[in-house]
């Protein structure tokens, strides 16, 4: 049975095992039972106490748990012991990461896929009358340099240039006047940067859950440094999907006024989403992941979340020399 539920728990309380369910009990006694056989992953946003009995059961049921702090920042993941391990695949994953020629081939594909999807977003809004022809032309010019890069650091520099141009079109895409001059991460300084940071972290976590289902090792990556973050492969795969999931969702949240300035606060940690704002965004994020599209090769509807898993399988085929990897590119 395929696991189909992601649970987003905002309240503080205790997470425990009760018979064959995981129970979340809040301080005021409210209880919510999670059907473990249907649970894909759990996202915790409150102050939650748990114990080894619960964690052992979550590991047995292969359920990752992603932790976020009060401000909605990702703090870590409980990653169950991998049971679906392939020694041969692990060797190939390491070889493709250690071999500079093999690594740059994959790194180029991740950047080109992400760039193609950024361009697709801009082309969508150009057709709707937004004057962003210059940004499209500038990105296409930089994109032509991707196949000629021979070092990952150089490739990351091109990616940074592409995103700088891409983000410069956003103020034009927004229907109302919204401040967004440049990407600021730590801490985010306005509502757009806050939404990017928050949704990026959710997307990394969703990718990590899909990597866990595959046989891939989440710590071995190709575009991002293996030492940069514990689960760096999720950063590689998320790069391709952020234009589809994060960016399109931000355009929708702001242009449809689902999110407004009232959902944010400024503090010593910069600009951040209030809890009510986080919940609004989470609902929209989950709906976005469950949205389906007719797959051109499979000839059936697949969810955006399933596209992430399919990307893992395509990467496996490349590593095992079955089929050259081609990154996901938005076709609609």
Q: Is it the case that residue 135 has pLDDT exceeding 90?
A: yes
Does the annotation list 159 as a binding residue?
Answer: yes
Distance of CA 130 to the CA centre of its chain: 27
Give dist(CA 2, CA 332) in Å, integer: 27
Does the annotation list 239 as a binding residue?
Answer: yes
What pLDDT is recorded for position 81? 83
Does the annotation list 224 as a binding residue?
Answer: yes
State whether residue 272 is helix, strand or coil: strand
Mean per-residue pLDDT of the chain: 93
* Cβ–Cβ under 8 Å, residues 161 and 155: no
Q: Is it the case that residue 116 has pLDDT exceeding 80?
A: yes
Q: Where are the domains of the chain?
A: 5-63, 87-319
How would you classify the pairing of strands 31-34 and 21-26? Answer: antiparallel
Tokens of 199: 């949704």
Per-residue pLDDT tens over the stretch 202-222: 999 999 999 998 989 999 999
Q: Is it the case that residue 3 has pLDDT exceeding 90?
A: no
Give dist(CA 169, CA 128) in Å, integer: 14
Residues 6+ apart with CB under 8 A from 267: none
pLDDT band at 89 (very low <50, low <70, confident <90, very high): very high
CA distances from 323 to 75, 215, 315, 326 (A): 36, 17, 9, 9
Beta bridge partners of 65: 42, 78
State whether residue 233 is helix, strand or coil: helix
DSSP state of 319: H
Tokens of 248: 């399109």
Distance of CA 194 to the CA centre of its chain: 15
Looking at residues 151-174, what average pLDDT do you find?
96
- DSSP H or E segment with residue 159: helix 152-167
Q: What is the largest CA-CA distance in the chain?
A: 61
DSSP state of 82: P
Per-residue pLDDT tens over the stretch 164-196: 999 999 999 999 888 887 788 778 888 999 999
Q: How many CA atoms lie within 13 A of 97 on its CB side?
A: 22
What pLDDT is recorded for position 186? 75
Per-residue pLDDT tens over the stretch 225-272: 886 557 899 999 999 999 999 999 999 999 999 999 999 998 777 888
Supply the CATH classification number for the domain 87-319.
Answer: 1.20.120.920
Per-residue pLDDT tens over the stretch 281-328: 999 999 999 999 999 888 899 999 999 999 999 999 999 999 999 999
The topology (CATH level 3) of 5-63 is Ribosomal Protein L15; Chain: K; domain 2 (3.100.10)
Per-residue pLDDT tens over the stretch 27-36: 889 999 998 8
């Amino acid at each position: 049975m395929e696991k189909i539920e992601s649970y987003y728990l905002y309240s503080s309380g205790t997470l425990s095992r009760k018979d064959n369910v995981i129970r979340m009990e809040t301080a005021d006694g409210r209880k919510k039972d999670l059907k473990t056989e249907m649970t894909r992953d759990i996202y915790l946003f409150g102050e939650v106490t748990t114990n080894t009995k619960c964690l052992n059961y979550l590991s047995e049921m292969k359920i990752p748990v992603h932790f976020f702090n009060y401000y909605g920042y990702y703090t870590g993941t409980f990653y169950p012991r991998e049971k679906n391990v392939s020694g041969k695949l692990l060797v190939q994953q390491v070889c493709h990461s250690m071999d500079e020629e093999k690594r740059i081939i994959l790194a180029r594909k991740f950047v080109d896929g992400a760039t193609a999807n950024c361009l697709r977003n801009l082309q969508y809004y150009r057709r709707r009358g937004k004057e962003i022809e210059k940004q499209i032309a500038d990105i296409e010019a930089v994109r032509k340099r991707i196949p000629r890069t021979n070092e990952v650091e150089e490739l990351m520099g091109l990616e940074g240039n592409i995103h700088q141009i891409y983000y410069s079109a956003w103020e034009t895409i927004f229907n109302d006047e919204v401040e967004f001059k440049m990407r600021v991460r730590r801490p985010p300084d306005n509502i757009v940067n806050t939404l990017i940071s928050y949704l990026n972290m959710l997307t990394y976590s969703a990718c990590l859950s899909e990597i866990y289902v595959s046989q891939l090792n989440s710590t071995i990556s190709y575009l991002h440094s293996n030492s940069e973050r514990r689960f760096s492969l999720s950063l590689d795969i998320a790069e391709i999907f952020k234009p589809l999931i994060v960016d399109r969702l931000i355009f929708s949240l702001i242009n449809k006024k689902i999110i407004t300035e009232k959902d944010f606060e400024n503090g010593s940690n910069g600009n951040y989403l209030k809890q009510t704002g986080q919940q609004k965004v989470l609902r929209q994020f989950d709906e976005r992941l469950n949205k389906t599209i007719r797959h051109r090769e499979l000839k059936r509807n697949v969810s955006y979340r399933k596209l992430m898993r399919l990307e893992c399988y395509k990467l496996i085929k490349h590593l095992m020399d079955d089929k050259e990897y081609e990154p996901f590119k938005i076709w609609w």
